[in-house]
Structure 1
C-alpha cells in the first residue's frame, strides 16, 4: 500500500484520538458517536486499498457493525425509536460507545503493529513436498465425500426439528433420530473441507466443493440461523482472495468489483435472512425490505456491552474472558474435574448462570430469565467479557490481540497445509468474536473431534506416503 495513503490513515486515527479526548472532557455522546463513525470508515477504507491483504479485517468490521455498532449508528443517525435510549441511561450509552471506540482503535493499532513487524521479518516457512500435497488432496477429497452426506442429513434434520419444536426450545437439547456414528462423521466435514481447499486444488474442483458448501449453508438457513448462512459465504470470499494472492499463473479467482456487487446485494441478503428468522419463531413476515433490514440491525445488535455495564454490580466475578477455555479444558472434562474436585454445570440452569464462566448465559439469565430457561440466549461479546474482567485495559489488550491475529491469519507465509487449515477455521470463528466468547475462536477450532480426525488423517498420510515412496525407490 502507498506509504502516503497509510500515513493519511494514521493521521486520521491520531486526530480521532484527539476528538475522543475532547468528547470525554465534555461528556459529549454525539461527538463520540461521530468519532466512532470516523474510525470505522477509516478502517474500511484501509481494507479497500488492498482487499487481498486486508479481507479478514474488512469482514471483521462488517460483523462488528452488524453485531455491535449497527444499532448504535441506527439509533443516532437514522431512527431514534430503536429503543437504545429507552433501555439505558445516557451514562451507559456513553460507556457503550466508548468501549466500541476503544476496541476499534486498539484493533487498528494491533493490525498496524503486525503489518509493520511482518515487513521487517524475512519469514521462511517449512513446506510439504508436492507429492505429499497431492496425497493430502486426494485423501481429504475422499474424506470430504464421506462426510458431506451425513452433514447434509444433520442439517436437514436440525431444520425439521426446529420447525417442529421451535428455535429457542431446540437449544434445550433434542434427541436426534440419526445414528450416533452419522453425527460423528458429520462433525468432520468442516475440517476436511478446509484441508482439501488448503491443498490449492484446480478451479473446477474448488468451485465444485465451494458450491456444495453454499448448498449446505442454504439448507441450514431453513432453521433460521443467519450466521450459518452468512459465514460460509464470507469465508468463500476470503478463500478466493487468498487464492488470488497465492496465484502464480495469472488466474483471477475473484475481482474487487464482486465485493461491490455483494455490498449492493447485501440489503437483500439481510432481508431474506431476516425473513427466515421470523419463520423460526413463528412471527409475521409481512415486512418490507427496508423494515427487515432495520429490524435485522436492531435484533442482531443486542447491546451486551450496555447490559454488562448496567448489571455490573450484579454479575458474579467468575472470570469470563478465559471462561470458555476453563469450562472446555477443566470444568466439563470429567478427568480434570474429578482431580480438582470441580462439579460440571449443565447449560440453562441457575447454577450455570450464577456459578459458571459463561457471560452469555449469565447475562441472559439476569436480563430475561424466561428466555433463558426456555433455551434462548443473548449471546456474548469479547468486549463485554474483557471489560467485566479487566476494565478498559482488557478491551484494549484483547482488541490488539485480535488485530494481530487477523493480520497473521490472512497474510500467513506458511506452506504447511495443516497449519493453513486450522488458520482458516480459526479465522471463521474469530470473525464472530463481536458476538461470541473471547476465546471462542480457539475452543471452537481445537475441538476433540477436530484434533482426533486430523491426528488420524496425519498418521494415515505419513504412513501411506512413506510406503509409497519406499516402493518407488
Structure 2
C-alpha cells in the first residue's frame, strides 16, 4: 500500500498542473527510480516511465498557454537520446542473460534492436498456432482476466468462496488455473523455460481474439481508441481527479500491445487505489478548510 502510494500520488500532483520546473523534478526522480530495474535486466519500467514523462510534456505543451514545455532543449535531448537508448536496450537483450553481444558494430546492434521489436507479432502468431492447447476450464476469460483473478483469487474471493491466492512467480498453478493469457500461453510454448522465469508475454489483440474472435477485436479496439482520445482531452480539464485517472492509466496503456487489455485499467479496480485517492483528497479538503480558517481569523484580527 505504501509503495503504490508513490505513483498514484504523483499522478494526482501532476494533474494539478504544476509549473514546468516542479514537474520536471518529480518526473526526473520517477524516471531515475525506475532506472534501478535496469540493474536486474528489466527494461519495461524504465522505458515506460520515459514515455510517461514525454507524453505528459506533450499534454502540457498543447494545453498550457503560459509555458513552453517542449522547446529547443527538450527537442535536442529527445533526438540525441533515442539512438543511445536503442543501442543500450539492444545490448541489454544479451547482457541480462550473461551472453556476449551477438552483433558487430553500432549499425548491426540497431538493426538487431529493431528486429526484436517484432515480439508482439510473435505472440500473435504463437497464440493463433497454439490456441487449441490452452487450458480448458468451466469458465475462462483472458480479456478481463486481471480483474477476475484479483477479486476471485484475492482477499474478497477468499472470504466469499474460500479460494487461495495465486502465486506471484511463474508456476504450474498460474499456467493452468489463472486467467492470465501471458502465463497460460508461455507455459505451452516454452515449457520448463517458463518455470525458470521466462515468458513470451501477452497481447490484448490475441486475448480479444481468443475470447470473442474478430468481432471482439473490432469492438474493443474502437473502445480503446475512444478512451485514448478522452485521455488526451482531459489535459485541458480543470478538475484534478479526471486527469489523475487518465495519468494512472497512461503508463500501462502504452504497454497494451504487449500486455493484457485490462492491465492499464486494473489500478482503478483495486482497493489500494481508492484508499490512496481518499487519503489525498480528504487530506486536501481538510487542509483547505484549515488554512481558510486561519486566513479568516487573520483578516478579523487585522480589521480589529
TM-score range with shorter-chain normalisation?
A: 0.7 to 0.9
Cα deviation per residue 1:90-141 (whole Å; 9 max; x = unaligned)?
Answer: xxxxxxxxxxxxxxxxxxxxxxxxxxxxxxxxxxxxxxxxxxxxxxxxxxxx
Contact 2:57 2:69 (C-alpha < 8 Å) held by counterparts: yes
Question: Aligned match of 1:206 in 23, 26, 41?
Answer: 23
Counterparts of 1:304-319 in structure 2, within 5 Å, are 304-316=123-135, 318-319=140-141
**Residue 339 (1) aligns with residue 156 (2):** no
Question: Aligned match of 1:422 in 216, 222, 245?
Answer: 245
**Residue 468 (1) aligns with residue 291 (2):** yes
Q: Give distance in 2, aligned partners of 1:343 and 1:283.
A: 39
CA distance change for structure 1 residues 289 and 398 in 2, over 3 Å: closer, same or farther?
A: farther
Counterparts of 1:179-258 in structure 2, within 5 Å, are 184-249=1-66, 251-255=67-71
Secondary structure of residue in 1 paired with 2:265: helix
Contact 2:34 2:49 (C-alpha < 8 Å) held by counterparts: yes
Question: Aligned match of 1:402 in 219, 224, 228?
Answer: 224
Q: Give distance in 2, aligned partners of 1:266 and 1:301.
A: 18
CA distance change for structure 1 residues 466 and 430 in 2, over 3 Å: closer, same or farther?
A: same
CA distance change for structure 1 residues 207 and 305 in 2, over 3 Å: closer, same or farther?
A: same
| Structure 1 equivalent of residue 97 of structure 2 | 281
Q: Give distance in 2, aligned partners of 1:270 and 1:319.
A: 36
Q: Give distance in 2, aligned partners of 1:338 and 1:449.
A: 18
Q: Give distance in 2, aligned partners of 1:282 and 1:254.
A: 38
State the 1:281 CA deviation.
Answer: 1.4
Q: Give distance in 1, aligned partners of 2:133 and 2:187.
A: 11
Question: Aligned match of 2:109 in 292, 309, 325?
Answer: 292
State the 1:406 CA deviation.
Answer: 0.9
State the 1:375 CA deviation.
Answer: 2.0
Contact 1:270 1:293 (C-alpha < 8 Å) held by counterparts: yes
How many residue pairs match? The answer is 288
Q: Give distance in 1, aligned partners of 2:101 and 2:156.
A: 48
Counterparts of 1:18-33 in structure 2, within 5 Å, are none
TM superposition outliers: structure 1 runs of 4+ over 6 Å: none
**Residue 385 (1) aligns with residue 201 (2):** no
TM-score w.r.t. structure 1 length? 0.56
Counterparts of 1:65-464 in structure 2, within 5 Å, are 184-249=1-66, 251-255=67-71, 262=78, 265-285=81-101, 287=103, 288-302=105-119, 303-316=122-135, 318-331=140-153, 333-347=154-168, 348-412=170-234, 413-444=236-267, 446-464=269-287
Contact 2:144 2:261 (C-alpha < 8 Å) held by counterparts: yes
State the 1:470 CA deviation.
Answer: 3.0
Contact 2:143 2:262 (C-alpha < 8 Å) held by counterparts: yes
Contact 2:204 2:257 (C-alpha < 8 Å) held by counterparts: yes
Contact 2:202 2:260 (C-alpha < 8 Å) held by counterparts: yes
Q: Give distance in 1, aligned partners of 2:216 and 2:76.
A: 35
**Structure 2 gap ranges (5+):** 297-304
Contact 1:429 1:444 (C-alpha < 8 Å) held by counterparts: no
Contact 1:379 1:435 (C-alpha < 8 Å) held by counterparts: yes
State the 1:263 CA deviation.
Answer: 5.7
Q: Give distance in 2, aligned partners of 1:298 and 1:337.
A: 44
**Structure 1 gap ranges (5+):** 1-183
Contact 1:226 1:277 (C-alpha < 8 Å) held by counterparts: no
Contact 1:270 1:296 (C-alpha < 8 Å) held by counterparts: yes
Question: What value does the CA root-mean-square deviation take over the aligned residues?
Answer: 2.4
State the 1:245 CA deviation.
Answer: 2.0
